[in-house]
Chains A and B, each alone.
Chain A
Amino acid sequence: MISPEFSTGLTLVLYSLALGTGFAGLLARQPAWRKCGCVLAVTAFACQTLTLALGFHKALPDGLSVGAYFQLMAWFVVLCGSIAWAKMRQESTLIFAALLGCLLFLLSTPYLTSVVRVPTFLSKPFYALHIGALFLSLALLAMAFAAGGIFLFLESRIKSKRSVKGFWKDMPALSLLDKVNAFTVLTGYPLYTLGIFSGIVWAKPAFGAFMTGDPKEVLSIIIWLLFSLLFYNRLTRNWKGRKPAQCAVGIFFLCLFSILVVNTLMPSHHAFVRN
């Protein structure tokens, strides 16, 4: 019988192998190694999916333990990376997604055994919608961040007529990176909006008010406004290239701050539940 510890260990080993092979392929500019890294990353993802599907982590269906949060986040990030790899045949997108996924997965492991008793208000359908939509949009934002970061570096090199060296030569073309940004923003924003508004609707019966002034709520609204600005300009004012890339990077940093600082250090009803 497969134990939760075994499946978690196996997923971690597979992710580590995927990253080792993938990054070695990027640095040594070996396409075969990069491809091998991607195949390993997809295998690790399948293993992680199995782990989640079998409900090994009791915390997962019960609520937002730190472990469950990062596990799900990692899963969504690698899912988006895998889709991007399948669609665009760019190994670097999946390798970077696997790196982020692996880090999140690694962060989750010490807390996987935490069992959370779920307050009744967390079991409403709106809660699942709130979390599902936000996680998927955050995973898309992570991709927008990676594509944006690479775009900004490469574009500055080309614009200033400096050479592109080493593994940067194998990075996707600027147009493709911009397309990734467009796709992730145009799909991520509606999901983020859905996540935010389902949260607001669900907050009324749960906490007695649509907005409670919770730090996480305030920051999420700020992020949503910035995301709206990016979405609007991308859609109607034909923003392309540097500006949307800078915005995506900035918004993702705010999201990271929200997850890593607000959820862990600030008094909030969004704070991670621990034993």
Chain B
Amino acid sequence: MDSDIVLVGLNHRTAGVDIRERFALTEYCDPERWALPCTDAIRESVILSTCNRVELLAAGKGDLEEQMLRDWAHVRHATPSELAPYVYIYKNQEAVRHLFSVASSLDSMVVGEPQILGQLKAAYRKAVSNHSTGAILNRLLHKAFSVAKRVRTETSVASSAVSISYAAVALAKRIFGDMQAHKAMLAGAGEMAELAARHLLQAGISEILVANRTLARGEALARQFSGRAIPFETMTHHLAEVDIVITSTAAQESIIRASDIRAVLKMRKNRPMFFIDIAVPRNVDPDVNGLDNVYLYDIDDLREVVEENMAVRRDEAAKAREIVSEEVQHFSTWLADLDVQPTIVDLIQRGESLAQKELEKTLKRLGPVDSGTRAALEAMVEALIHKFNHAPLMFLKNGGMAQEGNAQRISLVRRIFDLDASCSHSEGQ
């Protein structure tokens, strides 16, 4: 291969958050400097820096990894030896595989999370605007985006909820379907409950009521959700008007009992209700789940849902890795073909040049000929050259004998057809 692809990076597995902070390249990578310095070795580069990973991708020839490490450490006012213990280095096919895995979110902390693809696209856009990408990285990054899309379409790696708050909302959708005609109530104000309320709002819930022991805090929360604050003491009176109840108060015993809900259900004409009890100790009497048209999930139930979904994602990730392997193979073939291109061009040009010379000699010897004869001669010479070139071209394109590398095949063809001499001769001319 004429160019090597090298990826140097660290992520949440190889480095703690303090190290990731120390070697983050966010300030280094302002729009003007979103690339490694272009040198003889590094011809193309892209930098990806997120909260969970910092990765430098480069294409070029020579001792790329050493230069990349040196530049990276230098920018962060450190030495390469300080950085080295936390860093992984991948070359060529392994670098491609790693990039495809990152783009497909198979290397993320939460497998299947969608943000990384957007971050990678943003990194690529900045590199392009800084003119630091070329034929190889352009092709590689575009391929990475299409692999990510294929993984999402062909596997369920990103289909199920893997956070407690999102799992609660997914369950609410399974019960109510369209959320627009439904209301929710937030009792208490824990972080996870707030997050669930936020997800419900995103899902299109029509209104959120907030019941908090401190009314002022409740009002502040209600403003955040464009909702309505109600006094905590009146919470049970409002249960009939809401379909989803999220509880996360610090109460030491149940604040919602099955007997309360029986009466509420009558008022609601048995319309279903969903209770999401995130509090510990639990705020909702477990017997509530025994009532018809009432569904209750506590924190442990939701955790189990999340764990099951995580297991599903892990299984799907195995399928996704097969897709990645397949695409790595395709990309490697394209990359290998890049090496043989100049030889192919030389071979064709040599044939055409020889044909042209011989045709001119023959035409001189024949004297004046009619246009039909001339056209027939030209067609014959062209066909002859095509046929003559066919075997060496196939040898170059298809890899010839399996055990031979590209370099050896190229060298063989160049020597047999004396391409280097004929090229330098034509350059001299």
- The answer to whether A242 and B292 touch across the interface, beta carbons within 8 angstroms, is yes
Question: Given known contacts A161-B304, A239-B270, A240-B272, is B297 in contact with A175 (CB within 8 Å)?
Answer: no
Whether B272 lies near A158 (C-beta < 8 A) is no
The answer to whether A158 touches B305, judged by C-beta atoms less than 8 angstroms apart, is: no
Asked if A204 is at the interface of the complex by the 8 Å CB criterion, the answer is no
Instruction: Flag if A176 contacts B174 (CB, 8 Å).
Output: no
- Indicate if A172 sits at the interface (CB-CB under 8 A): yes
A181 to chain B, nearest CB (A): 13
Q: Check B293 against A240 for contact (C-beta < 8 Å).
A: yes
- A163 and B272: CB pair below 8 A? no
Q: Mark B249-287, 1 if CB is under 8 A from A, else 0.
A: 000000000000000000001111000000000000000
Q: What 1/0 mask marks residues of chain B from 345 to 362 whose CB sits below 8 Å from any chain A CB? A: 000000000000000000
Say whether B176 faces chain A, with CB atoms less than 8 Å apart: yes
Contact B305 A175 (CB under 8 A): no
In the complex with contacts A154-B174, A161-B297, A175-B176, A241-B289 CB distance below 8 A: no
Within 8 A of B (CB), among A9-29: 29
CB neighbours (8 Å) of A172 from chain B are 177
Bound together, the chains give a CA A169 to CA B271 distance in angstroms of: 22
Residue among A161, A169, A176 with max Cβ neighbours from chain B (10 Å):
A161
- Cβ-closest chain B residue relative to A177: B177
Q: How far is the CB of B84 from chain A (nearest CB, A)?
A: 44
Indicate whether B386 reaches chain A with its CB closer than 8 angstroms. no
A100 CA to B171 CA in the complex, in Å? 30
The CA of A219 and the CA of B269, in the complex, are separated in Å by 32
- Find out whether the CB atom of B270 lies under 8 angstroms from the CB atom of A173: no
* Inter-subunit contact A163/B174 (CB<8 Å): no
* A150 nearest CB across to chain B (Å): 12
List the B side residues contacting A159 at CB < 8 Å. Answer: 289, 295
B173 lies within 8 A of chain A by Cβ: yes
Indicate which residue in B171, B177, B304 contacts A158 across the interface (CB closer than 8 Å): B171
Of all chain A residues, the one with the shortest Cβ separation from B176 is A175
Residue A86 interfacial (CB < 8 Å)? no
**A147-185 near B? 1/0 per residue, CB < 8 Å:** 000000010001101011000010011111010000000
Please tell me the size bucket of the interface on A.
20 to 34
Bound-complex Cα distance A120 to B292 (A) = 52
* Complex alpha-carbon distance, A241 and B268, angstroms: 13
Is A238 positioned at the interface, with any CB of B under 8 Å from its CB? yes
What residue in chain B is nearest A168 (Cβ atoms)?
B174
Provided the pairs A163-B305, A176-B177 are in contact, do residues A241 and B272 lie with their beta carbons within 8 angstroms?
Answer: yes
- Enumerate chain B residues within 8 angstroms of A174, measured Cβ to Cβ: 174-177, 272
Asked whether any CB of chain A lies closer than 8 Å to the CB of B301, the reply is yes
Q: Is there a chain B Cβ closer than 8 Å to A243's Cβ?
A: yes
| 19 A-B pairs with C-beta separation under 8 A | A158-B171, A158-B174, A159-B295, A161-B297, A161-B305, A169-B159, A172-B177, A173-B174, A173-B175, A173-B176, A173-B178, A174-B176, A175-B176, A178-B272, A238-B269, A238-B270, A240-B270, A240-B272, A241-B293
Q: A173-B177, A173-B178 are in contact. List 10 more A-B contacts (CB 8 A).
A: A158-B295, A161-B304, A163-B309, A173-B173, A173-B176, A174-B174, A175-B175, A176-B177, A240-B271, A241-B292
- B residues neighboring A (CB under 8 Å): 156, 159, 171, 173-178, 269-272, 289, 292-293, 295, 297, 301, 304-305, 308-309
